[in-house]
Amino acid sequence: MMDKLQNYIDGEWVDGAQWIERQNPSDLSDCIGVYAQSSSHDVNSAVQAAKIAQMAWAGVSPQERSEILLDIAASILGRQEEIAHILSREEGKTLPESRGEVGFSASVFKYFSGEALRLNGHAGRSIRTGVDVEVLHEPLGVVGMITPWNFPFLMPAWKAAPALAYGNSIILKPSEFTNGSAHILTQIMVDSGLPANVFQLVMGGGPEVGQSLCGHPDVNGISFTGSVPTGNKIAATVSPDKHLQMEMGGKNPLIVMADANLGAAVDAALRGAFHATGQRCTASSKLIVEQSVHDEFVAMLKEKAQALRVGHALSDSTEVGPLVNAAQLAGVERYMEIAKQEGAEFLLGGSRVACETEGHYFAPTILLAPFNAMRINREEIFGPVATVISVASFEEALKVANDTEFGLSASIYTQSLKHAVAFKHGSTAGMVQVNLPTFGGDYHVPFGGRGMSGSGSRELGAYAREFYTTVKTAYTAI
Ligand code: NAI
């Protein structure tokens, strides 16, 4: 009998009113688990418990908070293999990718264990004689976290670490497609020495559980990562007196100039477009290549992409796992129809792949798509698909890169200092990379996008404080 995995609410592991079963996208005969589904009543119970818990947690000394965060990091690393396996089984990314995700999550906790000690405001002189003025950062309160399936362990971790460091309590609503990773994170939290109810888990669907959390009057902030349509619904629900942070989709351009190290550029495009099965908000899904090297670049990319081994996420030989679920696979297939209608040239892939086990496998796909106005060049496909656009100059490349509603990450490969600097300053993305892939970043600096890719304060680094604290200005007559 398959284990039933419960929510964690008000100090207890509790059943849900309903249950959902989740299958492994690499092997549909493999049932990963049966997960409790919360109700709006559960959300309310969690919020009430979180309010009380938050006051206790805010009173815990920074030293103790810091040590608990370090213990959480150690527990994550202690269970790295176990977490990586469940992550690969439920999301479909390869085991090395999952191990990387878990390791990065532990690093985020280590970083914020330090930040817990650096919650300094500042003191100053008032404009009035005999008055002191201070700017204080206080915990925000109860924070709701709504996370996507594509980084099912990292997203909850990189939101939870700063939230805890700055003295907040948390209610996590993970993606309904990847509850297993979130469940293990909750187990770690419960066992970590955190006061009861500082971290609670409410699993379930977005329109029901997510909306209840967003609309709850006693939730002080919502940190959301997911798609643009969901973000729009959340923005319409969360009242303006709350903190709202949203990290959403991307259509990230990677520019390859004629003077680039082509081998490095091909490698970045390959990993950026196809690894993690393209299911990455920072995937380089639009390749903008200078005309004179276009054919050579495309030939090199095709050769490497067609050699990629698609297969079961847990198999050692696999380089590209399956898509997360049938809906995601159907969505990518719809874009292949759109690509045909728009007149794109299919250089590679474009269809499902049969593997040893029945799963949601799709071939790495390269589409020559000359016009930036094509939907396949503008919309987030979120699968192992790269479009290629040929351009005549750096100026045209930058114009095409910036001609997007999104603005998460953008990259250029060039040996020209002039073009590298002009790109860094001229790109409209929130994160720019020079001679590096569009994905990948550090935890001690801000992460986030512009345009439709994100709104509200940035995540990670010291900037996380903007979202997870609220400012108070204190005057004292002396
Ligand atoms: P999604 O938007 O479908 O779901 C995200 C979360 O929102 C889930 O927990 C879901 O249950 C919840 N949700 C759905 N409807 C809701 C509603 N009406 N009210 C409240 N919550 C609701 O996104 P998905 O498919 O899980 O993740 C993929 C998306 O996430 C892509 O667009 C990707 O680019 C984006 N993403 C962005 C990142 C970033 O940092 N910019 C990082 C990772 C993913």
Q: Give the pLDDT confidence of 348-389 residue by residue, as tens digits.
A: 999 999 999 999 999 999 999 999 999 999 999 999 999 999
Give the active site residue among 115, 281, 380, 466: 281
Q: Does residue 115 register a pLDDT over 70?
A: yes
Contacts of 1 (CB under 8 A, 6+ apart): none
Whether 210 is in the pocket of ligand 1, judged by its Cβ within 6 Å, is yes
175, 211, 224: which to mutate for ligand 1, most atoms within 8 A of CB?
175
How many C-beta atoms surround the C-beta of residue 40 within 10 A?
Answer: 16
For the four alpha carbons of 7, 81, 464 and 453, in that order, the dihedral sign comes to negative
Q: How far is the CA of 297 from the centre of ligand 1 (A)?
A: 33
Whether 247 is in the pocket of ligand 1, judged by its Cβ within 6 Å, is yes
**What pLDDT is recorded for position 378?**
98
Reported as a pLDDT band with limits 50, 70 and 90, residue 119 is confident
Q: By mean pLDDT, which of 22-26, 123-127, 175-179, 283-287 is the weakest?
A: 123-127
Q: What is the mean pLDDT of residues 4-26?
A: 96
For the four alpha carbons of 37, 43, 49 and 52, in that order, the dihedral sign comes to positive
**What pLDDT is recorded for position 1?**
56
Nearest residue to 196 via CA among 45, 57, 65, 11: 11
SS3 content of the chain, % helix, strand, coil (to 5): 40, 25, 35
Q: Does residue 238 register a pLDDT over 80?
A: yes
What mean pLDDT, rounded, does the chain reach? 97
Active site residue 115: no
415 in Cβ contact with 259 (< 8 Å): yes
Q: Give the pLDDT confidence of 417-455 residue by residue, as tens digits.
A: 999 999 999 999 999 999 999 999 999 999 999 999 999
How many C-beta atoms surround the C-beta of residue 347 within 10 A?
Answer: 18
**What pLDDT is recorded for position 383?**
98
Entry pTM: 0.97
Q: How far is CA 157 from CA 296, 388, 454, in A?
A: 41, 34, 19
Active site residue 380: no
93, 146, 443: which to mutate for ligand 1, most atoms within 8 A of CB?
146
**What pLDDT is recorded for position 124?**
87
Q: How far is the CA of 226 from the centre of ligand 1 (A)?
A: 2
**What pLDDT is recorded for position 121?**
87
Q: Give the pLDDT confidence of 66-75 residue by residue, as tens digits.
A: 999 999 999 9
Round the CA-based radius of gyration of the chain to a whole number and report it.
23
Q: Give the pLDDT confidence of 309-355 residue by residue, as tens digits.
A: 999 999 999 999 999 999 999 999 999 999 999 999 999 999 999 99
Q: Give the pLDDT confidence of 402-423 residue by residue, as tens digits.
A: 999 999 999 999 999 999 999 9
Reported as a pLDDT band with limits 50, 70 and 90, residue 3 is confident
105 in Cβ contact with 74 (< 8 Å): no
**What pLDDT is recorded for position 466?**
96
Q: What is the mean pLDDT of residues 265-294?
A: 98
Q: Does residue 173 register a pLDDT over 90?
A: yes
Q: Does residue 183 register a pLDDT over 60?
A: yes
Q: By mean pLDDT, which of 1-5, 9-13, 309-313 is the weakest?
A: 1-5
Reported as a pLDDT band with limits 50, 70 and 90, residue 120 is confident
360 in Cβ contact with 328 (< 8 Å): yes
Residue owning the nearest CA to atom 42 of ligand 1:
281
